Amino acid sequence: MSAAPHIKPIDLAITVDDLLIWDGTPLPAGYSRETIVASMIKTFQSNGLSGIYGFPHTSPLDQDRGLISIIDHWCDSGHHIANHTHCHACLNWVSARFYCDDIKRAEDHIGQLIQKAPKRFFRYAMDMSGEAERKRGEVEDFLQANGYENAPITMWFGDFAWLAPYYRAVESNDEAALAMLRKSFLEAALFQLRSHAKAARLMFGRDLPYIWLIHATPIAADMLDDLIVAFKNEGVRFVTLENAMQDPIHRAMPRVSPKFRNHLQRYALMQSVEMEEVPRAMFASILNAAPMPGVESMEIYDTVLRKMCQRASGTYKWDWS
């Protein structure tokens, strides 16, 4: 991987999506939604970080209302909650009306907690704002009418890709695979930190206060402290989401795209800017680590996505390219 190190410090707001990790996600023995979030809270506390926004989809509460205790724990620990829809369905799969109703459904579950946050933030599922400008416009009008502000992602590293391999490695006690997965998790995060910053400087002539995404997964819980330390060593200064959202790049909307891309990557598509990506060979080694019959990575991810789509009675279409 060749993305160059930073020359100067950058500001970065941490956000955590899907505190109630998606239905169908395999969790190794010793890990649960509760223990994962509790571990992340402890790590944030030990690093002096508070006021971090979590973006939970709320459909797991339909099956187990007791899971609300996880979100309560998050808020009681000095962090905030924002709206991330109920079903976590991609806007490409459903109508704008269904999507807006799904935002309301999430508010039915966690509206009081959303209201306690300093700002009413929303995030599109997968950070994908639809395949048509008119559809996105309907959703944006709804958000504005209901006092929400979209908080997009301008830095990520595909951390969900480690979910299935990490499950297999933990369950099979494959120490070599675990070491490789943890090392690559950190390397990929740093690579994309540099790659996103490089692209932003090329497009806008400056750094942004980046909005960084990580999900509430087993490997994220185990590696969060290492990531924070590595980011600090890279020159990262952690800021609040409220601070990062003051930048007009986050409030403006790049052209829609049906592709699985974040907010910054959609700006890059508009301007035909090539962003450096983690090498495909590296991702292949991650996805295929610690093989286990019946627990193939891409089959699991496809199943998880289809469950989201089915819950929303949507039309499934997905392209990883």
Instruction: State residue 72's pLDDT score.
Output: 98
Q: Exposed/middle/buried for 48, CB within 10 Å: 0-12, 13-18, 19+?
A: exposed
**Separation CA 213–CA 38 (nearest Å):** 18
Q: Residue 56 above 90 pLDDT?
A: yes
Instruction: State residue 1's pLDDT score.
Output: 54
What DSSP string runs through 79-95? -EE-B--SS---GGGS-
Residue pair 136/254 in contact (Cβ under 8 Å)? The answer is no
Domain ranges, ordered by start, for the chain: 10-311
Residue type, 268: A
What DSSP string runs through 98-134? HHHHHHHHHHHHHHHHHHHSSS-EE--GGG---S-HH
In sequence order, the 6+-apart residues with CB closer than 8 A to the CB of 122 are: 82, 83, 84, 103, 143, 148, 149, 150, 151
CB atoms within 10 A of CB 9: 12
Q: CATH second-level architecture of 10-311? A: Alpha-Beta Barrel (3.20)
Residues 137-161 as b or e (16 or more Cβ within 10 Å = b): ebbbebbeeeebebbbbbbbbebbb
> Which tokens is 38 given?
């509790």
Instruction: Return the closest-CA partner of residue 199 out of 258, 249, 240, 235.
Output: 249
Q: Residue 6 above 80 pLDDT?
A: no
Q: Residue 5 above 70 pLDDT?
A: no
Residue pair 153/123 in contact (Cβ under 8 Å)? The answer is yes
Residue type, 9: P
Q: pTM for the full model? A: 0.96
Instruction: State residue 321's pLDDT score.
Output: 84
Residue recorded with tokens 């079903």 = 87
**Separation CA 217–CA 182 (nearest Å):** 13
In sequence order, the 6+-apart residues with CB closer than 8 A to the CB of 310 are: 316
Calculate what percentage of the chain has a pLDDT beyond 90. 96
Residue recorded with tokens 């933990």 = 170
Q: What is the mean pLDDT of residues 31-56?
A: 98
Instruction: State residue 7's pLDDT score.
Output: 52
In sequence order, the 6+-apart residues with CB closer than 8 A to the CB of 117 are: 53, 80, 81, 82
Q: Residue 2 above 60 pLDDT?
A: no
pLDDT digits (tens, 9 = 90+) for 111-162: 999 999 999 999 999 999 999 999 999 999 999 999 999 999 999 999 999 9
**Separation CA 272–CA 34 (nearest Å):** 42
Residue pair 267/208 in contact (Cβ under 8 Å)? The answer is no
Three-state secondary-structure class, residue 216: coil
Q: Residue 209 above 80 pLDDT?
A: yes
> Which tokens is 45 given?
């506390």
Q: Residue 258 above 90 pLDDT?
A: yes
pLDDT digits (tens, 9 = 90+) for 270-318: 999 999 999 999 999 999 999 999 999 999 999 999 999 999 999 999 9
Instruction: Return the closest-CA partner of residue 265 out of 179, 184, 162, 156.
Output: 156
The CA-CA-CA angle for residues 136, 149, 126, to 5°, reads 55
Instruction: State residue 180's pLDDT score.
Output: 98
Instruction: State residue 137's pLDDT score.
Output: 97
Calculate what percentage of the chain has a pLDDT beyond 70. 98
